[in-house]
Amino acid sequence: MAKKNKKKALGRGLSALLDDPQNEIRSISDSNADRVVGNIIDLDLKKIEVNPFQPRTNFNEEAILELAESVKSLGIIQPITVRKLGLNNYQLVSGERRFRAAKLLKLETIPAYVRIANDQETLEMALVENIQRRELDPIEIALSYQRLIEEIKLTQNQLSERVGKKRSTVANYMRLLKLDPIVQSGIRDGFLSMGHGRALINIEEQDKQLEVYEKVISLGLSVRDTEKLVQKFKSQESNTKSKPKLAEIYSELEAELKNYLNSKTSIKGNIEGKGSIQIHFNSHDDLKYLIKKIKRED
């Protein structure tokens, strides 16, 4: 019990240190900054603002309620992380679910790690920490990766090192952002898995992609069945695209043969080049004429 009280006193002491206007800690080089950074401090919830860089945009209310019940029974086991903005002013870096649960319980303070960083460092810390520690959905992870690349100016190789993932894994997540927004919503809402998304992304035309997506949802298809459906769809699409080309070729040949023989003809063939030719005639004389024409070519 004495150890517990000592920890609380330490927290209060550090909080007082941060609240001192005459010796305000504004950067890591300021006096006493080393005593603050890395230590757990009891912070007033009213002094903390939500992080605008938060990658998670969907918060399950039921999960927040469950977490609040856990906090009510066990307390907050994992402190949140905040960035000091100014005197008595902090910004959340990570731990928004815990922060929301604490506010729901109307707690006055919350244990927190205080960091002093600029906005770019804060963004990187928030994104990387949330990717590694929180259960983000695949689209949120992809968006976080995209922000790290675009706003922090990381390459995919650098990003893979920061988040501890293979470069191919990072690339697979980011490819999900090429999906139609409706399909992305399906993944975010849990109707589809990342595997489903990776299969659907092979259909480039968005209207066709949505057509297959609706079948996957209505039939409750597995990832493997979705992959088979996409392969079948692409095969049919390929055949459909090739038909006009074949029809155009055979139509030109029919016209050429008709002009030469002066008789109606029809040509049928497949993509391998196999087929048949029909030459129409109206009398024995027409037939003899056609045979002579054909033999003349020999």
Q: What is the pLDDT of residues 249-282, one digit of tens each?
A: 777 778 888 777 777 888 887 766 788 888 888 8
Highest mean pLDDT among 49-58, 201-210, 254-263, 280-289 belongs to: 201-210
- The CA distance from 218 to 264, in Å, is 49
| Cα four-point dihedral sign 146, 148, 154, 156 | negative
Buried b (16+ CB within 10 A) or exposed e, 184-214: bebbbeeebbbebbbbbbebeeeeebbebbe
Q: Which of 241, 272, 277 is nearest to 256 (CA)?
A: 277
Query: Who contacts 238 (Cβ-Cβ below 8 Å, separation ≥6)?
Result: none
φ, ψ dihedrals at 89, nearest 5°: -140, 120
Q: Where in the sequence numbering do the catalytic residues fall?
A: 96
Q: Which of 170, 162, 165, 213 is nearest to 192 (CA)?
A: 213
CA dihedral 142→143→146→147, nearest 10 degrees, is -140
Which of 5-9, 132-136, 231-235, 291-295 is least confident?
5-9
Radius of gyration, alpha carbons of the chain: 34
Sorted by where each starts, the structural domains of the chain and their CATH numbers stand as: 2-201 (1.10.10.2830), 202-298 (no CATH)
Given a cut of 50, is residue 236 above it in pLDDT? yes
Each residue's pLDDT tens digit, 117-174: 666 676 677 777 777 766 788 998 898 888 888 767 788 888 888 888 899 999 999 9
Across residues 91-118, what is the average pLDDT? 85
pTM of the predicted model, to two decimals? 0.51
Q: Please give the pLDDT value at position 241.
A: 56
Which residue in the block uniquely carries the two structure tokens 């002579």?
292
- The CA distance from 115 to 91, in Å, is 10
Given a cut of 70, is residue 13 above it in pLDDT? no
Alpha helices in 41-200 (DSSP H): 61-74, 96-104, 119-133, 138-151, 156-163, 167-175, 181-188, 194-200
Confidence of residue 64 (pLDDT cuts 50, 70, 90): confident
